[in-house]
């Protein structure tokens, strides 16, 4: 039955890991801007679809 010591310790340990992850996420400013990333994540795909759809002969200008 002493396995319960182990189980509870492990569960608390896992919980603490998540808690630390939360603190780190807050500290990094992840929650400061809750809108822009949601738009940003959609961008890459749309650009790809676009370049496939309109095969316009636009040359990449070398700046």
Partner 1 sequence: MREQSCFHCGLTIEQNEEIDFDDKKFCCTGCKTVYEIFSINDLTSYYDFEKSPGATPQDIKGKYDFLENETILAKVLEFQEGNTSIVSLNIPHIHCSSCIWILENLNRLQQGISTSQVNFHEKKVRITFNSDVVSLKEIVYLLSSIGYEPYISLENYGSAKAKIDRSLTYKLGVAFFCFGNIMLLSFPEYFEMKEFWLDSYKPFFRLLIFLLALPTFLYSASGYYVSAYHSIRTRMLNIDIPIALGIIVMFIRSTYDMLMDHGPGFFDSLASLIFFMLLGKMFQIKTYSFLSFERDFKSYFPIAVTKINKDASEDNVAIYDVLKGDRLLIRNQELIPVDGILISESAEIDYSFVTGEAVPITKKSGDKVFAGGKQIGKVIEMEVLHSVSQSYLTQLWSNEIFQKKVDQKHKTITDAISRYFTPILLLIAFAGFGYWIFKDANTAFNVFTAVLIVACPCALALTAPFTFGNILRILGKKKFYLKNAVVIEQLAKVDTIVFDKTGTITTNKKSNIMYEGNSISDSDIVLIKNVLRGSNHPLSRMLYDFLPEAKRIVVEEFQEITGKGILAIIGGKEIKIGSGQFVNDIVADGSEIEKTALHIKMGEIYFGKYTFQNQYREGLEKLFANLSKDYKIKVLSGDNDGERSNLEAILPKGTELIFNQKPEQKLEYIKKLQEKGQNVMMVGDGLNDAGALAQSNVGISISENVNVFSPACDAILDASEFSHLNYFLKLSHKAILIIKMSFGLSLLYNVVGLAFAVTGNLLPLVAAIIMPLSTITIVSFVTLMSNYFSNRNL
Contact footprint for partner 1 (CB under 8 A): 1, 4-5, 8, 12, 15, 19, 22-23, 26-27, 29, 31-33, 35-36, 39-40, 42-43, 46-47, 50-51, 58, 60-61, 63
End-to-end CA distance of the chain: 71
Which residue is listed with tokens 């002493």?
2
Instruction: Tell me how far, at minimum, the Cβ of 7 lies from partner 1, in Å.
Output: 11
Instruction: Return the half-sphere exposure (C-beta side, CA atoms, 13 A cut-off) of residue 25.
Output: 10
Instruction: Tell me how far, at minimum, the Cβ of 41 lies from partner 1, in Å.
Output: 11
């Amino acid at each position: 039955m002493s396995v319960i010591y182990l189980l509870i310790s492990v569960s608390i340990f896992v919980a603490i890991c998540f808690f630390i992850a939360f603190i780190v996420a807050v500290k990094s400013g992840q929650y400061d801007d809750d809108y822009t990333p949601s738009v940003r994540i959609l961008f890459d795909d749309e650009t790809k679809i676009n370049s496939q759809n309109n095969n316009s002969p636009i040359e990449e200008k070398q700046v």
